[in-house]
Amino acid sequence: MVVKIEKLDHFGRGIAYINDKICFIDNALKDEIVEIKITKDHKKYCIGKVEYYIELSKERVNSDCNIFNECGGCNLRHLNYIEELYYKKEKLKELIKKYTNIDSSIIEDTKSFINDSYRNKAIFHVQNRKLGFYKKKTNEVIELSSCPLLKEELNNKIPLLKKLIENEKNNISEIMIRTNDLSKNKDDFMISIDGIVEDIEAIKNEIGVIYVNDKCVSNNSKLISKIGNKSFYLSKNSFFQVNSFVVDKLYDEVLNFCKEKKPKKALDLYCGTGTIGIYISDYAEEVLGIDCVKSSINDANENKKLNNCKNITFICNKVENEIDKLKGNYDLIVVDPPRAGLDKKTLMYLEKINSKYIIYISCDPVTLSRDLNELNKIYNVISIKPFNMFPRTYHVETITILERK
């Protein structure tokens, strides 16, 4: 049937209505007229697949990736970049309006730092000695020779990975590859290989940090990455922001705030390898970081030494299990939770504690809006800034500053 696309949903899919039933359609943009086939028909919604484009949007661009339609990694490769920025701001606006009474006009334009090939980490799957990503919503590998989201230096390593996979002595199931901000020498690259791995000669001169089935088999076990004037160790299992080009811009928002407000005591909740706490530590008297992943906290403690940072302490525990034990007042609390957002106990604590400011860094506008609705009872939201941390995908990173009422 032929439908007109009304708008994009929060996952970058086109929305059309068929007899009042909502239909989600991949690779279809607002105002396009498309002929579709219904691939799934549920009671309340259906899924359609474009068979033929009758009228194209003027915002459509060529997707410059030959597996865009099958791979789930990018969702907006077919939309021009200016519209992508606008889409992200509007999506945030819609959710803030839906879940809160906060004045959505304070949401700033999406901050953009043009660099399309930004990812410093990829996890490849291997099937029948073919390397690639899983096809959307399946466990079937689509083979690839490069990915436009990856840093060029990671793409340049793919032929090496293929050599490893094609080597008859190996039977590899998965490869994680990661790099730092520099991506120059072999010690700027980390690889973790799973499966039967007997021969890794092909990569030894090219990759400095090598793990095989979770065991480090190289002299170095960590990468070292620079953000601003600070350096950070990074182990295999520790969280690190995937876009090295934007991370300093994001952290600078927190840093500039600290330079201005000069907090005495600051909390860095969900601190990962201690990056934000250490980044701001020159402008706070005392910082406490909490994260539940042991390797991240081990890295955080090493990072503290590496940056000669004496006023920061780290605790390894779940935020919700630790938060009640915290004594004293904090002038600034930075929270950077995973997509699930803040749990009820943490929200209750943030409402109870006498902190002057909260900076909420979020990678999911749905949970951000839900949590801001709670926090807004006690705190005024003074700024909301979306960042294009994940270009070409529907994901949007947001930094929100709140001040106690």
Contact set with ligand SAM (CB under 6 A): 239-241, 270-272, 275-276, 290-293, 296, 318-320, 336-338, 363
Residue sitting closest to ligand SAM (CB)? 272
Which residues are bridge partners to 16 per DSSP?
Answer: 23
User: Which residue's CB is nearer to ligand SAM, number 336 or number 371?
Assistant: 336
User: Which residue's CB is nearer to ligand SAM, number 14 or number 289?
Assistant: 289
Q: Least distance in Å: CB of 256 to ligand SAM?
A: 16
Q: Least distance in Å: CB of 118 to ligand SAM?
A: 15
Q: What is the 3-state secondary structure (H, E, C) of the chain?
A: CEEECCEECCCCCEEEEECCEEEEECCCCCCCEEEEEEEEECCCEEEEEEEEEEECCCCECCCCCCCCCCECCCCCCCECHHHHHHHHHHHHHHHHHHHCCCCHHHECCCECCCCCCCECEEEEEEECCEEEEEECCCCCEEECCCCCCECHHHHCCHHHHHHHHHCCCCEEEEEEEEECCCCCCHHHEEEEEEEECCCCHHHHCCCCEEEECCEECCCCCCEEEEECCEEEEECCCCCCCCECCCHHHHHHHHHHHHHHHCCCEEEEECCCCCHHHHHHHHHCCEEEEEECCHHHHHHHHHHHHHCCCCCEEEEECCHHHHHHHCCCCCCEEEECCCCCCCCHHHHHHHHHCCCCEEEEEECCHHHHHHHHHHHCCCEEEEEEEEECCCCCCCCCEEEEEEEEC
User: Which residue's CB is nearer to ligand SAM, number 191 or number 271?
Assistant: 271
User: Which residue's CB is nearer to ligand SAM, number 14 or number 341?
Assistant: 341
Active site residue 397: yes
Q: Least distance in Å: CB of 300 to ligand SAM?
A: 9
User: Which residue's CB is nearer to ligand SAM, number 83 or number 291?
Assistant: 291
Q: Least distance in Å: CB of 271 to ligand SAM?
A: 5
User: Which residue's CB is nearer to ligand SAM, number 163 or number 249?
Assistant: 249
Q: Least distance in Å: CB of 290 to ligand SAM?
A: 6
Active site residue 316: no
**Which entry of 286, 309, 397, 403 is annotated as an active-site residue?**
397
Q: Least distance in Å: CB of 65 to ligand SAM?
A: 26
Q: Where in the sequence numbering do the catalytic residues fall?
A: 363, 397
